[in-house]
Amino acid sequence: MTRPAALFVIAAVLITGCSTRNVSWQKNSSKEPSHIASVPDKKNYTHPTMRPYTVHGKRYYPTVVRRGEMFKGIASWYGPNFNGKLTSNGETYDMYAKTAAHKTLPMNTIVKVDNLDNGKSVTVRINDRGPFVGTRIIDLSKAAAKEINMQKKGTARVRLTVLGFQKSGSTSIPDLKKLQSGPEEKIIGSFAVQIGSFRRFEGALITQEKYDNYRGYSTIIKDMEYEGERIFRVWLTGFKSDAEARDFIAESEFKHSFIARE
Protein backbone atom coordinates (compact mmCIF):
# COMPACT_ATOMS: atom_id res chain seq x y z
CA MET A 1 0.00 0.00 0.00
CA THR A 2 1.31 3.47 -0.87
CA ARG A 3 1.13 6.03 1.93
CA PRO A 4 2.05 9.72 1.79
CA ALA A 5 4.89 10.89 4.00
CA ALA A 6 2.39 12.80 6.05
CA LEU A 7 -0.58 10.50 6.41
CA PHE A 8 -3.16 13.19 6.80
CA VAL A 9 -3.72 16.85 7.40
CA ILE A 10 -6.10 17.53 10.26
CA ALA A 11 -8.20 20.65 10.32
CA ALA A 12 -11.03 21.79 12.52
CA VAL A 13 -13.53 23.30 10.10
CA LEU A 14 -15.77 26.10 11.27
CA ILE A 15 -16.83 28.90 8.94
CA THR A 16 -14.61 30.08 6.10
CA GLY A 17 -13.42 33.63 6.59
CA CYS A 18 -14.40 33.84 10.26
CA SER A 19 -12.43 33.78 13.45
CA THR A 20 -13.89 32.90 16.82
CA ARG A 21 -13.27 34.35 20.26
CA ASN A 22 -13.98 30.92 21.82
CA VAL A 23 -16.98 32.53 23.49
CA SER A 24 -20.51 31.19 23.38
CA TRP A 25 -23.73 31.66 25.25
CA GLN A 26 -26.20 28.95 26.16
CA LYS A 27 -29.83 29.74 26.89
CA ASN A 28 -30.40 30.85 30.51
CA SER A 29 -33.17 32.39 32.58
CA SER A 30 -31.40 35.68 33.27
CA LYS A 31 -31.14 36.57 29.56
CA GLU A 32 -27.62 37.86 30.21
CA PRO A 33 -24.33 36.50 28.80
CA SER A 34 -23.35 35.40 32.29
CA HIS A 35 -21.74 32.07 31.55
CA ILE A 36 -19.03 32.57 28.99
CA ALA A 37 -17.26 29.39 27.91
CA SER A 38 -13.69 30.65 27.66
CA VAL A 39 -12.34 27.09 27.86
CA PRO A 40 -13.80 24.33 25.64
CA ASP A 41 -16.12 21.97 27.50
CA LYS A 42 -14.23 18.70 28.04
CA LYS A 43 -17.23 16.57 27.13
CA ASN A 44 -17.40 18.28 23.72
CA TYR A 45 -13.66 17.99 23.08
CA THR A 46 -12.85 16.12 19.89
CA HIS A 47 -9.57 14.21 19.75
CA PRO A 48 -7.49 15.19 16.70
CA THR A 49 -7.82 11.70 15.19
CA MET A 50 -11.60 12.23 15.11
CA ARG A 51 -11.53 15.56 13.30
CA PRO A 52 -11.94 15.99 9.53
CA TYR A 53 -8.74 15.44 7.57
CA THR A 54 -7.55 15.59 3.96
CA VAL A 55 -5.49 13.04 2.02
CA HIS A 56 -4.62 13.38 -1.67
CA GLY A 57 -7.02 16.31 -1.92
CA LYS A 58 -10.01 14.34 -0.62
CA ARG A 59 -11.83 15.37 2.57
CA TYR A 60 -12.83 12.71 5.10
CA TYR A 61 -15.48 13.39 7.75
CA PRO A 62 -15.66 10.91 10.64
CA THR A 63 -19.25 11.13 11.89
CA VAL A 64 -21.42 8.53 13.63
CA VAL A 65 -21.09 4.74 13.64
CA ARG A 66 -23.55 2.19 15.03
CA ARG A 67 -23.02 -1.34 16.25
CA GLY A 68 -24.15 -3.84 13.62
CA GLU A 69 -23.49 -1.60 10.61
CA MET A 70 -22.00 -3.39 7.60
CA PHE A 71 -19.82 -2.21 4.74
CA LYS A 72 -18.46 -3.99 1.67
CA GLY A 73 -15.33 -3.26 -0.30
CA ILE A 74 -11.74 -4.26 -0.91
CA ALA A 75 -9.29 -4.99 1.91
CA SER A 76 -5.53 -4.67 1.68
CA TRP A 77 -2.79 -5.10 4.28
CA TYR A 78 0.40 -3.41 5.42
CA GLY A 79 3.37 -4.83 7.27
CA PRO A 80 7.20 -4.67 7.40
CA ASN A 81 7.65 -1.16 6.00
CA PHE A 82 5.46 0.28 8.76
CA ASN A 83 6.18 -2.09 11.65
CA GLY A 84 7.34 -0.17 14.72
CA LYS A 85 6.17 3.20 13.40
CA LEU A 86 3.45 5.30 14.97
CA THR A 87 -0.17 4.82 13.95
CA SER A 88 -2.63 7.68 13.62
CA ASN A 89 -3.76 7.40 17.25
CA GLY A 90 -0.20 7.42 18.61
CA GLU A 91 0.25 3.69 19.16
CA THR A 92 3.22 1.77 17.81
CA TYR A 93 2.19 -0.36 14.86
CA ASP A 94 2.64 -4.07 15.46
CA MET A 95 2.06 -6.11 12.33
CA TYR A 96 1.60 -9.23 14.48
CA ALA A 97 -1.36 -7.75 16.39
CA LYS A 98 -4.89 -7.90 15.00
CA THR A 99 -5.39 -4.25 14.14
CA ALA A 100 -6.42 -2.30 11.07
CA ALA A 101 -6.58 1.12 9.43
CA HIS A 102 -9.85 2.69 8.30
CA LYS A 103 -10.58 6.11 6.81
CA THR A 104 -13.34 7.22 9.20
CA LEU A 105 -14.28 4.58 11.80
CA PRO A 106 -13.56 5.74 15.37
CA MET A 107 -10.31 4.61 16.91
CA ASN A 108 -10.84 1.44 18.98
CA THR A 109 -13.85 0.36 16.92
CA ILE A 110 -13.95 -3.44 16.91
CA VAL A 111 -14.73 -4.83 13.46
CA LYS A 112 -15.35 -8.31 12.12
CA VAL A 113 -13.82 -8.76 8.66
CA ASP A 114 -15.30 -11.51 6.47
CA ASN A 115 -13.30 -12.56 3.41
CA LEU A 116 -16.01 -12.98 0.79
CA ASP A 117 -13.64 -14.96 -1.45
CA ASN A 118 -13.08 -17.84 0.99
CA GLY A 119 -15.47 -17.44 3.93
CA LYS A 120 -12.73 -16.86 6.53
CA SER A 121 -13.10 -14.10 9.13
CA VAL A 122 -11.05 -12.15 11.66
CA THR A 123 -11.84 -9.57 14.34
CA VAL A 124 -9.66 -6.45 14.45
CA ARG A 125 -9.36 -3.17 16.34
CA ILE A 126 -9.09 0.11 14.42
CA ASN A 127 -6.01 2.09 15.44
CA ASP A 128 -4.89 3.80 12.24
CA ARG A 129 -6.13 5.79 9.23
CA GLY A 130 -6.16 4.46 5.66
CA PRO A 131 -6.02 2.92 3.13
CA PHE A 132 -5.99 5.88 0.77
CA VAL A 133 -5.94 3.85 -2.43
CA GLY A 134 -8.89 3.56 -4.80
CA THR A 135 -11.92 1.73 -3.44
CA ARG A 136 -10.12 -0.07 -0.61
CA ILE A 137 -12.01 0.30 2.68
CA ILE A 138 -9.69 -1.30 5.25
CA ASP A 139 -5.98 -1.96 5.66
CA LEU A 140 -5.30 -5.02 7.81
CA SER A 141 -2.23 -5.88 9.83
CA LYS A 142 -0.14 -8.80 8.56
CA ALA A 143 -1.52 -11.08 11.29
CA ALA A 144 -5.13 -10.25 10.40
CA ALA A 145 -4.48 -10.68 6.68
CA LYS A 146 -2.88 -14.06 7.30
CA GLU A 147 -5.86 -15.25 9.35
CA ILE A 148 -8.25 -14.70 6.43
CA ASN A 149 -5.67 -16.05 3.95
CA MET A 150 -5.20 -12.91 1.87
CA GLN A 151 -1.61 -11.93 2.65
CA LYS A 152 -0.20 -13.56 -0.52
CA LYS A 153 -2.80 -12.13 -2.89
CA GLY A 154 -2.61 -8.73 -1.20
CA THR A 155 -6.27 -7.79 -1.48
CA ALA A 156 -9.66 -9.45 -0.97
CA ARG A 157 -13.35 -8.66 -1.21
CA VAL A 158 -14.59 -8.21 2.34
CA ARG A 159 -17.61 -7.36 4.45
CA LEU A 160 -17.04 -5.30 7.59
CA THR A 161 -19.39 -5.59 10.57
CA VAL A 162 -19.10 -3.14 13.46
CA LEU A 163 -19.16 -5.26 16.65
CA GLY A 164 -18.72 -2.45 19.17
CA PHE A 165 -16.28 0.00 20.70
CA GLN A 166 -13.35 -0.59 23.02
CA LYS A 167 -12.45 1.95 25.71
CA SER A 168 -9.81 4.49 24.82
CA GLY A 169 -6.33 3.43 25.87
CA SER A 170 -7.06 -0.29 25.77
CA THR A 171 -5.41 -2.42 23.09
CA SER A 172 -7.29 -5.65 23.74
CA ILE A 173 -10.28 -6.96 21.81
CA PRO A 174 -13.22 -7.61 24.19
CA ASP A 175 -15.45 -10.64 23.76
CA LEU A 176 -18.74 -10.24 21.92
CA LYS A 177 -20.85 -10.25 25.09
CA LYS A 178 -18.91 -7.31 26.53
CA LEU A 179 -19.12 -5.39 23.26
CA GLN A 180 -22.89 -5.89 23.10
CA SER A 181 -23.27 -4.48 26.60
CA GLY A 182 -21.41 -1.34 25.56
CA PRO A 183 -22.67 1.72 23.66
CA GLU A 184 -24.87 1.22 20.59
CA GLU A 185 -23.15 3.98 18.66
CA LYS A 186 -20.22 6.31 18.72
CA ILE A 187 -20.51 9.91 17.58
CA ILE A 188 -17.49 11.44 15.94
CA GLY A 189 -17.46 15.19 15.64
CA SER A 190 -20.31 17.61 16.16
CA PHE A 191 -22.38 19.40 13.54
CA ALA A 192 -24.47 22.55 13.76
CA VAL A 193 -26.79 24.51 11.49
CA GLN A 194 -26.49 28.30 11.47
CA ILE A 195 -29.97 29.84 11.59
CA GLY A 196 -29.12 33.49 12.13
CA SER A 197 -26.37 36.12 12.19
CA PHE A 198 -26.67 39.46 14.03
CA ARG A 199 -24.60 42.56 14.77
CA ARG A 200 -26.54 43.08 18.01
CA PHE A 201 -26.55 40.50 20.77
CA GLU A 202 -30.22 41.19 21.50
CA GLY A 203 -31.26 39.97 18.06
CA ALA A 204 -29.30 36.77 18.47
CA LEU A 205 -30.79 36.22 21.92
CA ILE A 206 -34.37 36.55 20.59
CA THR A 207 -33.65 33.97 17.88
CA GLN A 208 -31.93 31.66 20.35
CA GLU A 209 -34.93 31.68 22.68
CA LYS A 210 -37.43 31.26 19.85
CA TYR A 211 -35.78 28.15 18.42
CA ASP A 212 -34.19 26.49 21.44
CA ASN A 213 -35.22 22.82 21.47
CA TYR A 214 -36.60 23.20 17.94
CA ARG A 215 -37.22 19.61 16.80
CA GLY A 216 -35.08 18.49 19.71
CA TYR A 217 -31.98 20.53 18.84
CA SER A 218 -30.38 23.10 21.15
CA THR A 219 -29.40 26.66 20.31
CA ILE A 220 -26.12 28.36 21.04
CA ILE A 221 -24.84 31.88 20.29
CA LYS A 222 -21.32 32.10 18.86
CA ASP A 223 -19.49 35.38 19.46
CA MET A 224 -17.30 35.70 16.38
CA GLU A 225 -15.42 38.18 14.24
CA TYR A 226 -15.94 38.60 10.50
CA GLU A 227 -13.92 41.07 8.39
CA GLY A 228 -13.03 43.03 11.51
CA GLU A 229 -16.60 43.26 12.74
CA ARG A 230 -18.07 41.52 15.78
CA ILE A 231 -21.10 39.38 14.98
CA PHE A 232 -23.30 36.94 16.90
CA ARG A 233 -24.24 33.75 15.07
CA VAL A 234 -27.05 31.49 16.26
CA TRP A 235 -26.45 27.77 15.77
CA LEU A 236 -28.73 24.80 16.24
CA THR A 237 -26.55 22.06 17.67
CA GLY A 238 -26.82 18.33 18.26
CA PHE A 239 -26.58 16.96 14.72
CA LYS A 240 -24.67 13.68 14.62
CA SER A 241 -23.64 13.82 10.99
CA ASP A 242 -23.42 16.01 7.93
CA ALA A 243 -26.24 14.00 6.37
CA GLU A 244 -28.56 14.59 9.35
CA ALA A 245 -27.90 18.33 9.18
CA ARG A 246 -28.55 18.42 5.42
CA ASP A 247 -31.82 16.52 5.82
CA PHE A 248 -32.89 18.96 8.52
CA ILE A 249 -32.22 21.99 6.30
CA ALA A 250 -34.11 20.44 3.38
CA GLU A 251 -37.18 19.74 5.52
CA SER A 252 -37.20 22.87 7.70
CA GLU A 253 -37.94 26.56 7.28
CA PHE A 254 -34.21 27.32 7.20
CA LYS A 255 -33.68 26.68 3.48
CA HIS A 256 -30.76 29.10 3.22
CA SER A 257 -28.93 27.91 6.32
CA PHE A 258 -25.57 26.22 6.17
CA ILE A 259 -23.72 23.58 8.13
CA ALA A 260 -20.91 24.34 10.55
CA ARG A 261 -18.62 21.97 12.42
CA GLU A 262 -17.98 22.58 16.09
pLDDT digits (tens, 9 = 90+) for 220-233: 999 988 888 899 99
pLDDT digits (tens, 9 = 90+) for 123-172: 999 999 888 877 799 999 999 999 999 999 999 999 999 999 988 788 88
DSSP type of residue 136: E
Helix (H) or strand (E) holding 235: strand 229-239
In this prediction, residue 39 has a pLDDT band, given cuts at 50, 70 and 90, of very low
Q: Which of helix, strand or coil describes residue 261?
A: strand
More confident site: 30 or 236: 236
Section 200-220 average pLDDT: 91
H-only helix segments in 83-223: 142-147, 176-180, 201-211
d(CA 200, CA 110): 48
Q: What is the pTM of this model?
A: 0.57
In this prediction, residue 252 has a pLDDT band, given cuts at 50, 70 and 90, of confident
DSSP strand pairing (64-66 vs 70-77): unpaired
Q: Which domains does the chain have, with CATH numbers?
A: 9-50+189-261 (3.30.70.1070), 64-186 (2.40.40.10)
Other Cβ atoms less than 10 A from the Cβ of 145: the count is 29
Q: In the chain, what is the straight-line distance between the N-terminal and C-terminal CA atoms, in Å? A: 33
pLDDT digits (tens, 9 = 90+) for 110-137: 999 999 999 999 999 999 988 887 779 9
